[in-house]
Amino acid sequence: MLTIVAFIVALGLLIAVHEYGHYRVAVACGVKVLRFSIGFGHTLWRYKPKKQRPNQDTEFVIGAFPLGGYVKMLDEREGPVAPEERHLAFNAQPLKSRALVVAAGPIANLLLAVVIYAGLNWWGLDQPKPIVGTPVPGSIAERAGLKGGETVESVAFDGEDARRVRSFDELLWLLTKAAFVESNATLHLASGRDVVLPLSEVHARSEDPALAKKIGVIAPFTRAEIAEVLPSGAAERAGLKAGDKVLEIDGKPIADGTQLFETIRASGRNGAPPKQAWTVERAGRKLVIAVTPALEHDASGTNIGRINAKVGSAPEMLRVQYGPVEGLVKGAERTWEMSAFTLQMMGRMVVGEASVKNLSGPLTIAEYAGKTASMGFIQYLGFLALISVSLGVLNLLPLPVLDGGHLMYYLWEAVTGRSISETWMERLQRGGVAVLLLMMSIALFNDVTRLFG
């Protein structure tokens, strides 16, 4: 139920903001708005204010089908317009006004993302410090010389100035972005050492756990200890206790919680895990405990070892908070980076350099809406900002059925001095619908595969 409610609230809010952008600018440009609708189909709620803005007679509606919305304006192409009201029709407005009305929807979504990100920056978030855990064996990070436990102060990409890193989450985002744009990243550590990650070698095609493992930086540093022993598992049978610090497994030193976790998982790779000799520190004493992980399977069906315990301490946290101006600037920067990243990903999918598995549809959006809502209001707001950016960028794509397609029509009109003919308009609309349906089909297929595959 939480997933459904969170999804409907998110969708309703983002659509309302998008359509309000169209509506508000249309009114400001002197266009008569007939209907403002959130959703399609059967009308669930209808309201028509008695007191309207000058020259307006707008009806506000909520439809039964929530996947969309629209603002219906007076327009001679959609029906007869009284001569005395022709100056209020959308099609009779100057080119600049029409372009502003069309662009206002996507811009409203992008501005919403800026406001949300800025608000989160002003409020402040508790995030893990940028201290890297043990790199994945054989990964780029390990080959570059990272051992685990290093604090990253800044990251610089090819041809760019160094950027200060304030949290581990920010570090992950920067490394993921660098991998997709095939740029090397130079990490400046608190020790004064620089480590170059040749991420141009990754050739990333999709954002998934495999990419994180290729890079090698997957989790912040945590102490190698048993946080909690769950009942009826290998850890309980072996006699492990919460608070045990794991020093070695079969004579191999364990540096942190990430390495401990991966060592347990890897024990089942070749079948039933063998008995292991764990050297732990408990109340100042060293003990050797025999632990035999259970053989289980992860979501992909891979053999893994599991001891039924929570391993690794909580990472060191810090409060990341910005002042009024810096918080707003950071919010705008985040929105710009997410927009550019989304466009780069779409472009790479078109030319086959990125997997179409990156496309997500309503099922995945609903799933993440529910997950973030269950995690807390702050996480849900971050999700809303991300989806708002995606919605804004998507609608600016030059597809005839989207806002970006209409802006392309107006660009043609501005260059040639004449509008596109009805024949070409119809052809382009059909092509745009076909492309959009193809994208929706791929996204829905990806959703089903992720959830049930």
Please list the active-site residues.
19
**3-state secondary structure (DSSP) of residue 453:** coil
**Strand ranges inside 74-225, DSSP E:** 125-128, 152-157, 163-164, 185-189, 194-197
Nearest-angstrom CA–CA distance, 392 and 404: 10
Rounded-to-integer distance, Cα 398 and Cα 420, Å: 15
**CA–CA distance, 200 with 213 (Å, rounded to integer):** 15
Vertex 440, ends 434 and 445: CA angle to 5°?
A: 125
- Bridge partners (DSSP) of residue 225 are 245
The tokens for 389 are 């950016």
Tell me if 246 sits within 8 A of 322, measured CB to CB.
no
Question: Token digits for 356?
Answer: 């179409």
Residue matched to tokens 């399609």: 40
Here the tokens at position 295 are 């053989």
> Per DSSP, what are the bridge partners of residue 287?
280
Contact 90/31 with Cβ under 8 angstroms? yes
SS3 content of the chain, % helix, strand, coil (to 5): 50, 20, 30
Instruction: State how far the Cα of 186 lies from the Cα of 302, in Å rounded to an integer.
Output: 34
Residue carrying structure tokens 């502003």: 100
Find out whether 309 and 235 touch, Cβ atoms under 8 Å.
yes
Cβ-based burial of 24 (10 A; exposed 0-12, middle 13-18, buried ≥19): middle
Sheet containing strand 252-253, strands side by side: 252-253, 245-249, 276-282, 285-291
Helix H or strand E encompassing 301: none
Q: Quick one: CA dihedral 217, 221, 226, 230, positive or negative?
A: negative
User: Between 324-350 and 377-395, two packed helices, what is the crossing angle to 10 degrees?
Assistant: 50
